[in-house]
Structure 1
Amino acid sequence: MRAVTGIWRWRHNPLRRRTDLIEAWVAFVAVVLLALAVPAVGWTAGARTDASLQQAARTQHEQRQRTTARVVRAADTPASGLHSSGSEGEEPLRRAVVARWTAPDGTSRTGTVSTRRELADPGDTFPMWTDRGGRPATPPMQSGTARAHALVVGLLATALAAVFVEASRRLVVRRLVQRRYEHLDRAWAKAGPDWGRTGAGS
Structure 2
Amino acid sequence: MTRTPPQTITPIRLWRWRRNPLRRHGDLVEAWVVLLTWILVVLGGALAGWAAASSVDSALAVRRDQVHEVRAVLTGPAPKTAPSRGGYDDDRVWTKVRWTDAKGAVHTDKAKVSPGTPAGTSVTLWTDGSGRTVPPPASEAESLLQTVLTGVLVAQVTGTAVWAAGRLACGTLVRRRLAEWDEEWSRVGPEWRRLSGGRG
Same fold (TM over 0.5): yes
AA aligned to 1:97 is T
Pick aligned residue for 2:77 from 73, 77, 86? 73
The residue correspondences of 1:7-46 to structure 2 (distance < 5 A) are: 7=14, 10-46=17-53
Q: CA RMSD in A?
A: 3.3
Bigger-Rg structure (1/2): 2
1:199 shift after superposition: 8.4
> Deviation digits for residues 45-64 of structure 1, max 9, x if unmatched?
2123312321232222xxx3
What's the TM-score, normalizing by structure 2?
0.72
Alpha-carbon displacement from aligned partner over 1:21-49 (angstroms, at most 9, x marks no partner): 22222222222223333212211221233
Give the SS at the match of 1:14: coil
Q: Distance in 1 between matches of 2:191 and 2:71?
A: 95
Residue 138 (structure 1) aligned with residue 144 (structure 2):
no
Q: Return the structure number with greater helix share.
A: 1
Q: Give % identity.
A: 30
1:176 aligns with 2:173: yes
Query: TM-score with structure 1 length normalisation?
Result: 0.71
Q: Which residue of 1 aligns with 2:57?
A: 50
Deviation by residue 1:61-100 (Cα, 9 ceiling, x = unmatched)? xxx332132251336xx9xxxxxxxxxx973222112334
Matched-pair contact (CA < 8 Å) for 2:72–2:97: no
Within a 5 Å distance, the mapping from 1:110-189 to structure 2 comes to 110-117=108-115, 120-189=117-186
Q: Return closer, same or farther for 1:130/1:21 CA change in 2, 3 Å cut-off.
A: closer
- Deviations 1:89-129 (CA, angstroms, capped at 9, x unpaired): 97322211233433444355444322234x63445432223
The residue type equivalent to 1:161 in the other structure is T
What do the CA deviations read for 1:142-186 (whole angstroms, capped 9, x no partner)?
A: 344333332222112211220122012101110111111111121
For 1:196, what is the secondary structure of its paired residue?
Answer: helix
- Give the 3 Å change call, closer, same or farther, for CA 18–149 of structure 1 in structure 2: same
Distance in 2 (CA, whole Å) between partners of 1:135 and 1:48 is: 26
Cα 1:158–1:6 change in 2 (3 A) is: farther
